Structure 1
Amino acid sequence: MSDGITNQRGFRLLSLDDGGIKGLSSLYIIQEMMHRLRGQLAQETTGMQPHEIPLPKPCDYFDFIAGVGTGAICAVMLGRLRMGINEAIQAYANLMTTVFSDPKLINRNRGAFKAHSLETELKKLVKNVEGDEDEMLFNSRELHCKVIVYAMSSHNLNDGLPTSFYSYPPRTGSTTECKIWEALRATTSYPEMFKGISVDINGTGVAHRFDHGGLGCSNPTRVLFEEASQLDVNRRVELIVSIGTGHPETIRIAGGQSSGSTMQRVLEASRRMAEGSEQVAEEMQRRFANGEPKYYRLNVQQGLQGVDAREWGRLDEVAANAGAYLRKSEVSLQLDALVARLHERPNLAIASGSTSAAAHRPRNDVQRDVPRPRRALTDKPESGRPDLAAIATVLGVRFISRLKRRANATAERR
């Protein structure tokens, strides 16, 4: 690795929980981070307004991005595919709407939704960016932002140790030799939702079976910290950002559900994921209470009651409640402190000048498919700054409403 500014600071980690459609709230939190970061950059640039500067990409400010389940889909979009956050939000909402609006009608014991539909959409996602749907996860060209996808192998379920899929050469020297979509299918293969998949991870001809997604590892922060700490003994971890997808108490099982119903099994799986995520979050909070490394946990706490993986029609509620969470004063202060640390020193690619900021403009960062917000929301409040969280929420809700109308029209034609 080149000697540069990246070697003069510690690793920055972004960890993304699993959460079904609620994973959209994670992306809105990241979007707010990037908007605030752009505001900081504008203050350094004479004569430029924030909207005149390309929205920063998470891959240029985090050294590791890791996730489980739908969190892994987000991690791959932002890290391995280097998507801008607006582009990732659109792609994620499209994927969730397409996959979860078409449940199985028969053989639901092997998953409530069609694994083939998920696989097809994941391939489209990769092809739209890389030009090849079978692009490999390992990428020797990009080492500044490393991506890890975690999934629970059927053989390691009792041990609670996830299998790691790497986009980079890990310290063990065992590289990942599978396709991007295969890694994402492995991490989303919950029996309540999608049937499992066998993946030859290391290209040895021996396939590993994945049937339990990230169950037992729905919050990958602990394992990510351990892996990052071991990669380079000369570099410490200086910053951890862990983003959740709701608290377990927000998951409700409605009355009248039979004990073996698909709906109840999906909700029970969601509850188990949320409970496991919060246990890890509390452990990390205690572990890093002294401030080294600096640890931030962001998690929409209210408003996601009863939202489960198959309710794609409630994506707009997820977006709206994420916006409400971001407007809380204590959350805003936490984001300001976090962004200040990110702003100090970006990754080597930008800091060294080898890649200009303009070169990192996301392909769809203008978001042609998303209507502009109402004029009232662009007015400056008392703080003198536009309410970015409110703007982002309106954009998201309108875009998702358009997706819902499209999906409903498709369903009526069937």
Structure 2
Amino acid sequence: DGGGVRGVSQLVMLKEILQRLDYKTEQRTRPCDIFDMIGGSGMGGVLALFLGRLSLSIDDALREYAAFVSIAFDNKRIPLSVGTNKFSTKNFKQGIRDVIAKYSPGNPGLACDMHCKTFVCAMSKANFTAKIPRLFRTYPAPKFQLPDCEIWEAARATSASPVLFDDIEITGNSVSDTYIGSDMGCNNPINVLLDECNLVYPGRHVACVLSLGTGPEMLNIPNTILSTHATLNNTLQKMSTDCEQTAELISRRFREIPRVYFRLNATQGMEVIDEAAWNKIPDIVSHTEQYVR
């Protein structure tokens, strides 16, 4: 799922899973070694690129992501005018390109022939109301293939948000399109992942589906006339990015197939942490470690 800085929680949960797996196999496993496909939306898409396309270990991902979000969410634009995103994309772009240069110096392109297929979700700004996600893939697909781009462009496309980062124009095969993130309508990309598996692996049985959340959103109730407009906008934004309804529907879908679908989502304490609060990373780690015990 998308969730800004709170994506650290996803890495902590995944680390616990890998540690238990490594204890049984006596090996050190990277996520890209055990998953056939990793997909993400928003900043969860950035994590998907870290783990899948860049093949980071979980410890490296935790370190690099914490450093990256501290840069990306550092300087707010002041004053924040109507229609202006909170954060400049300059730091985001530099931060993500530094990670790419470190782990894939010879190939900054998104396309890559590797076992773990990776995609991130975005939406065309021109067709946003349709809420049909566009997928930036590391692998060829039989249909709906977007032009290839660089890793940082895919990261920017999936994380662009009406309140966080500006949209991005990407040109491929002499065709340009402007992309924004899919957090409003596809913040939990589990349905997209299952459809993509059917597209890429037709006829294959699914052994395990792991869905990682970033905790619940807290909806504020307006208590003054002056605050009503701003709070209502925030409430609608949070409602549109609520991932748990999607998770519940998928859980029902797999109800007759036990031990295939797993949803992990730390709840206690996470609802008060803003998605841009990079200084709250120690709290996120603490709440998540308590959840996985």
Equivalent residue, structure 1, for 2:240? 272
Larger radius of gyration: 1
Identity of aligned residues (%): 30
In the TM superposition, residue 106 of structure 1 has moved relative to its aligned partner by 3.6
Kindly provide the amino acid, as one letter, of the partner of residue 316 in structure 1.
P
Alignment of 1:66 with 2:50, yes or no, is no
In the TM superposition, residue 237 of structure 1 has moved relative to its aligned partner by 2.0
In the TM superposition, residue 173 of structure 1 has moved relative to its aligned partner by 7.5
CA distance in 1 between partners of 2:202 and 2:121 (Å)? 23
* Residue from 155, 165, 186 that aligns with 2:157: 186
Equivalent residue, structure 1, for 2:130? 159
Equivalent residue, structure 1, for 2:53? 80
Question: Mapping of 1:276-287 within 5 angstroms?
Answer: 277-287=243-253
Residues 195-250 of structure 1, C-alpha deviations (whole Å, 9 max, x = no match): 111112xx2221111234432100000011011112232422221101111123x4
| TM-score computed with the length of structure 2 as normaliser | 0.91
In the TM superposition, residue 251 of structure 1 has moved relative to its aligned partner by 5.0
Higher alpha-carbon deviation: 281-290 or 292-301: 292-301
CA distance in 2 between partners of 1:297 and 1:313 (Å)? 27
Equivalent residue, structure 2, for 1:384? none
CA distance in 2 between partners of 1:245 and 1:176 (Å)? 30
Kindly provide the amino acid, as one letter, of the partner of residue 33 in structure 1.
I
Question: Mapping of 1:228-377 within 5 angstroms?
Answer: 228-248=197-217, 250-252=218-220, 258-259=227-228, 269-273=237-241, 275=242, 277-291=243-257, 294-327=260-293
Equivalent residue, structure 2, for 1:398? none
Equivalent residue, structure 2, for 1:347? none
Secondary structure of 2:285's partner?
A: helix
CA distance in 2 between partners of 1:319 and 1:271 (Å)? 25
Residues 114-135 of structure 1, C-alpha deviations (whole Å, 9 max, x = no match): 1111111111111111125x71
Alignment of 1:111 with 2:99, yes or no, is no
CA distance in 2 between partners of 1:303 and 1:40 (Å)? 31
CA distance in 2 between partners of 1:24 and 1:218 (Å)? 16
Equivalent residue, structure 2, for 1:221? 190
Q: Structure 1, unaligned stretches of length 5 or more?
A: 1-16, 43-52, 328-414
Alignment of 1:147 with 2:115, yes or no, is no
* Residue from 17, 20, 29 that aligns with 2:4: 20
Secondary structure of 2:135's partner?
A: strand
CA distance in 2 between partners of 1:301 and 1:60 (Å)? 28
Number of residues paired by the alignment? 291
Equivalent residue, structure 1, for 2:22? 38
Residues 351-376 of structure 1, C-alpha deviations (whole Å, 9 max, x = no match): xxxxxxxxxxxxxxxxxxxxxxxxxx
Residues 153 and 253 (structure 1 numbering): CA distance in 2 closer, same or farther, change over 3 Å?
Answer: farther
Kindly provide the amino acid, as one letter, of the partner of residue 119 in structure 2.
I
Question: Mapping of 1:125-144 within 5 angstroms?
Answer: 125-131=99-105, 135-139=108-112, 141-142=113-114, 144=115
CA distance in 2 between partners of 1:87 and 1:176 (Å)? 29
CA distance in 2 between partners of 1:255 and 1:324 (Å)? 33
Residues 20 and 268 (structure 1 numbering): CA distance in 2 closer, same or farther, change over 3 Å?
Answer: farther
Q: Structure 2, unaligned stretches of length 5 or more?
A: none
Equivalent residue, structure 2, for 1:124? 98
In the TM superposition, residue 254 of structure 1 has moved relative to its aligned partner by 8.7
Retained in 1: the 8 A contact 2:251–2:261? yes
CA distance in 2 between partners of 1:253 and 1:80 (Å)? 41
In the TM superposition, residue 314 of structure 1 has moved relative to its aligned partner by 1.2
